[in-house]
Amino acid sequence: MKTILVTGGTGYIGSHVCVQLLDAGYHVVIADNLINSKREVVDYIAQMTGKTPDFYQTDLLDADGLRAIFRAHPIDGVIHFAGLKAVGESVEQPLRYYTNNLTSTLNLLAVMQEAGCTVIVFSSSATVYGENNAVPFHEGMPVSATNPYGYTKVVQERMLTDIAAAQPELSVLLLRYFNPVGAHPSGLIGENPNGIPNNLMPYVAKVATGELPHVNVFGNDYDTPDGTGVRDYIHVCDLARGHVLGLQYAFGRTGTDIVNLGTGHGSSVLELIHAFSQACGHDLPYVIAPRRAGDIAECWADTKKAKEVLGFTTQVTLADMCRDSWNFICHQREQAH
Ligand code: WQD
């Protein structure tokens, strides 16, 4: 079976993809600098699959470190997750975000070319749909961004597209995620950000554990059914399955293609808070706060292309996503004591 390099493979989404790649019979090599994840995730992946991926604590800014991996393994394809991804932080530290995210990808593409590796699946984001498109967002829409993090995704998509146009043997698949949430039912891996989370689901989870006093609902005056922001929350295990299907698709073609990975349904902030309170078994306090700069009212995926080209659909409900998130958190707390 093929060998796949997963950059950022100990991260939230990357680790769930590694599990499904190993279960599908691929050999997996992980390169991660552990800036936003923990080394023990490799052990959890091994425990969940019965197979141990090769792991290199490597920063993609170190091209020679990357070369060493390609010399040590016959890498057939790459799934590229590694990158900084906090919207607010990117506004405060744009130089760090552009340097890290763009140079990492350029190094990876250069080393892939030297090694003759011609398949890359790129972790992009619905954030590239910006604030001027109408929902549901589809792959042919114009892209833009409202913050440096979003622009690093726009620019990386552009770089990959231009390089693939000049290298006919290259296969590039840009996967645009909507809002990944939830955790593997085992409770061993999940989203466990350090500090105060930027994203809604991990923030709500910390209110559910009592680590934070209440949820701040960023605005209830949007033009949506209950006035709060609507997003397309997709279970991280569904998202991971979409990557395995995407990789198989990318191996069968050349050139660049773009596919959304979402459910096609929107849920509001209040709906998510309610769903999580059902999962954790108690009400969750919230206050209505001012809108957050850069937020759009509604965001959900047009899922037609994912179904047509990948055979990808999602069935998991928001209640399931909250249940699995809460299960992961309870499992982490048991481990800690
Ligand atoms: C969801 C909704 C907020 C926090 C971002 C990135 C995107 C991707 C996913 C990386 C919005 C509201 C949030 C809170 C709230 N990240 N909210 N109180 O902004 O849709 O997407 O994360 O790839 O690129 O842009 O996700 O979870 O931050 O917000 O009311 O404490 O919850 O206004 O409506 P977002 P989010």
Q: Return the pLDDT at 263.
A: 98
pLDDT of 195: 80
Please name the residue that has the structure tokens 């909250």: 322
| Mean pLDDT, range 2-16, rounded to an integer | 98
Q: What pLDDT score does 14 carry?
A: 98
Q: Of the listed 26, 129, 149, 177, which one is catalytic?
A: 149
Q: Work out the mean pLDDT of the chain and round it to a whole number.
A: 96
- Structural domains for the chain: 3-182+233-264 (3.40.50.720), 200-231+265-299+315-336 (3.90.25.10)
Protein residue closest via CA to atom 13 of ligand 1: 200
pTM: predicted TM-score of the whole model, two decimal places: 0.97
Q: Work out which ligand 1 atom sits closest to the CA atom of 204.
A: 31
Condensed to tens digits (0 to 9), the pLDDT of residues 205-235 reads: 999 999 999 999 999 999 999 999 999 999 9
Residue type, 273: I
| Tens digit of each residue's pLDDT (9 = 90 or more) over 256-310 | 999 999 999 999 999 999 999 999 999 999 999 999 988 999 999 999 999 999 9
Distances 179 to 46, 153, 334 between C-alpha atoms, Å: 26, 15, 27
Distance CA 2, CA 216 (A): 46
Give the closest residue (by CA) to ligand 1 atom 36: 199
Helices (H), the chain: 12-23, 40-49, 63-72, 87-92, 94-115, 148-166, 200-208, 236-251, 269-280, 304-305, 318-336
Residue 118's pLDDT band (cuts 50, 70, 90): very high
Q: What spacing in Å lies between the alpha carbon of 295 and ligand 1's midpoint? A: 8
pLDDT score at 315: 83
Residue nearest to atom 21 of ligand 1 (CA): 179
pLDDT at 64 over 80: yes
pLDDT-above-70 percentage for the chain: 100
Region 307-334: mean pLDDT is 95
pLDDT in tens, 132-173: 999 999 999 999 998 999 999 999 999 999 999 999 999 999
Q: Which helix (H) or strand (E) holds 170?
A: none
pLDDT digits (tens, 9 = 90+) for 160-170: 999 999 999 99
What separation in Å is there between the alpha carbon of 272 and the centre of ligand 1?
A: 12
Q: At CB < 8 A and 24+ separation, what contacts does 219-222 make?
A: 219/288, 219/289, 219/290, 219/291, 219/292, 219/295, 220/270, 220/288, 221/291, 222/291, 222/297, 222/298
How far away, in angstroms, is 59 Cα from ligand 1 center? 27
149 tagged catalytic: yes
Residue 337 has pLDDT above 90, yes or no: no
| Residue-level pLDDT at 167 | 97
Say what the pLDDT of residue 248 is: 98
Residue 335's pLDDT is what?
A: 85
pLDDT at site 193: 73
